[in-house]
Chains A and B, each alone.
Chain A
């Protein structure tokens, strides 16, 4: 769960405003800027394949941040995030195809549409919690999946919908390189918004609801309002992420948004660290790279043992099993996620030769 990170000596705060800045230390701010600059420069160096992976991390990361605000910060469980992600993708394609809304505008608008849907599906969240909510969202995943397959006017039914590439000032941003900057822009904006949200009254109210809902209510937090609001915000993120996904692939079909993707989203935030903005990105990167890593591992094994046909044919399932296994192992051995591990590494090096 979110906790105070290591604040180096000399970084004491004297005002409340200073204590609630987005970046707790100047060093973290510089690192963040450096990271963005590095990411912006990466298309010059990286191959298209690696770039495609980075783009995936980008749009999944946006959606995962929404889920982290809902699950990690507000303590509400959602097993239907992929359905909202998919709704965003369809909504953006629909706005663009049916009404000619420019794609760059359709993406946030799709986010807004998904928010409305999320508020609707969040109504049970006002009344249920924990396990019951998990089951309710589980049901909403299936209901929405069914809706995608059926609503021809909206999703194109079983044949799917075409999503046009993004065009800006008459330039079409369709290649991996140019789309990378679009995704980077959205990632930066959405992550800034997310971090900012968590230091406002609403963000702190979410955390209060998570930590002890009775105390939160005593302190004047309207539980129902904040629970549903959290659903709405998380759906907005899912919608924007989904819209980017749709316009990146150029084609949206209902098969992509199954319960497995919902579970992967949950896996991202568990592996990254619940309630941590930074961890979300780490977890997403882990989850996106996991199948690649598995494939590399399998080909290494094959390199030593010669070709095993059974292994090749089972590769898709091995990748799937790796996802499940990663979630289980992380929950048993590192329930605080990669971000916790990262802090341990930092503290180790801070005190390096004398660890006490």
Chain B
């Protein structure tokens, strides 16, 4: 019993971890290119998932139509958010930028709750719910699909940053805004693209999680879990975000295992990542892969 449960939790951790990794990647994308810490990342998942859910259930659209529409909506949403709210704050102190994203997060969460209610709504069945057996472990197909989707997204990110023109422009902007601008890169366009991509990919993650667990405001908790992941990985490293996400996902499930089997303190599942966060911040604030440029005092 013990070891099979352990394995099961490990696999769960890896799957949830890849999702954390994807969301963390979106977070890092925004931080890296626009220097904004996005506390509203979880709300992107929430908004994306609710939009898709609404299109599929209330509008009765087939999933393959609703999904691209959600994507389109999130793209517009991300760009609008950047242009209306974040652009006036360029050059303001860190606290203002942090507080604006926190304010947005409260606002969107409340708006979503008032529109769609607080209860979890199940997604109509798109993939079979029956678990499949892989090496004696039962895994939900939606989870498997989320694993595949996550890996595809990660690959797409790698390709985007390495080979595409926009990706190159983004890397240049992240490296040095003024130099990038003098080379003819439109920093405004880069900022808008970063937010758009981040919103779209987060929405994708939101839809995937929504399919498995149902859509509810609990989705925004992903945005909070992102912080341990990005700090462990390093705030400005895309690879770090993926690794950090995996580590946090596995750690969370191991904490649950240790909790259930030996410690019996309860709730360790949610708090353990934050202990790790504080410890990492104390000993290695730039994380595993981050650049060591932060000022130490």
Q: Which chain B residues border A324 with CB–CB below 8 Å?
A: 102-110
Chain B positions 220-273 with a Cβ under 8 Å from a chain A Cβ: 224, 227-228, 231, 235, 265-267, 270-271
Contact in complex: B267, A335 (CB < 8 Å): no
Chain B positions 262-297 with a Cβ under 8 Å from a chain A Cβ: 265-267, 270-271, 274-275, 277-278, 281-282, 285, 294-297
Chain A positions 258-303 with a Cβ under 8 Å from a chain B Cβ: 260, 263, 266-267, 270, 274
Chain A positions 285-334 with a Cβ under 8 Å from a chain B Cβ: 314, 317-321, 323-328, 331-332
* Secondary structure class of chain B's binding surface, majority of residues: helix
Q: Which chain B residues border A116 with CB–CB below 8 Å?
A: none
Taken together as a complex, chains A and B put the C-alpha atoms of A211 and B260 apart, in Å, by 49
B103 contact from A132, A134, A318, A325, Cβ within 8 A:
A325
Contact in complex: A139, B227 (CB < 8 Å): yes
Q: How many A-B pairs with Cβ below 8 Å?
A: 130
Q: A130-B94, A132-B281, A138-B227 are in contact. Are A321 and B114 (CB under 8 A)?
A: yes
Contact in complex: B278, A71 (CB < 8 Å): no
Please, what's the 1-or-0 string for A143-161, where 1 marks a CB less than 8 Å from any CB in chain B?
1001001100000000000
Contact in complex: B114, A132 (CB < 8 Å): no
Tell me if B132 counts as interface (CB < 8 A to partner A): no
Tell me if B113 counts as interface (CB < 8 A to partner A): yes
Q: Which chain A residues border B79 with CB–CB below 8 Å?
A: none
Q: Which chain A residues border B265 with CB–CB below 8 Å?
A: 150
Instruction: Give the Cβ gap from A193 to chain B, nearest Cβ, in Å.
Output: 24
Instruction: Give the Cβ gap from A328 to chain B, nearest Cβ, in Å.
Output: 4
Q: Which 6 A-B pairs have the closest CB atoms?
A: A324-B107, A324-B106, A327-B103, A317-B114, A314-B114, A321-B110
A interface residues with partner B (beta carbon < 8 Å): 71, 77, 79, 123-124, 126-132, 134-136, 138-140, 142-143, 146, 149-150, 213, 223-224, 260, 263, 266-267, 270, 274, 314, 317-321, 323-328, 331-332, 335
New A-B contacts (19) at CB < 8 Å, excluding given A324-B103, A331-B89, A331-B103: A124-B281, A127-B285, A131-B98, A135-B231, A136-B281, A139-B228, A139-B275, A142-B270, A143-B274, A150-B265, A263-B102, A274-B95, A314-B114, A320-B106, A324-B106, A327-B100, A328-B104, A331-B92, A332-B89
30 A-B pairs in the complex with CB atoms less than 8 angstroms apart: A71-B95, A77-B94, A128-B285, A132-B285, A134-B37, A135-B277, A135-B281, A139-B228, A139-B274, A139-B281, A142-B271, A142-B274, A146-B267, A224-B297, A263-B102, A270-B96, A270-B99, A317-B110, A317-B111, A321-B111, A323-B103, A324-B102, A324-B106, A324-B107, A324-B108, A325-B107, A327-B99, A327-B100, A331-B100, A332-B88
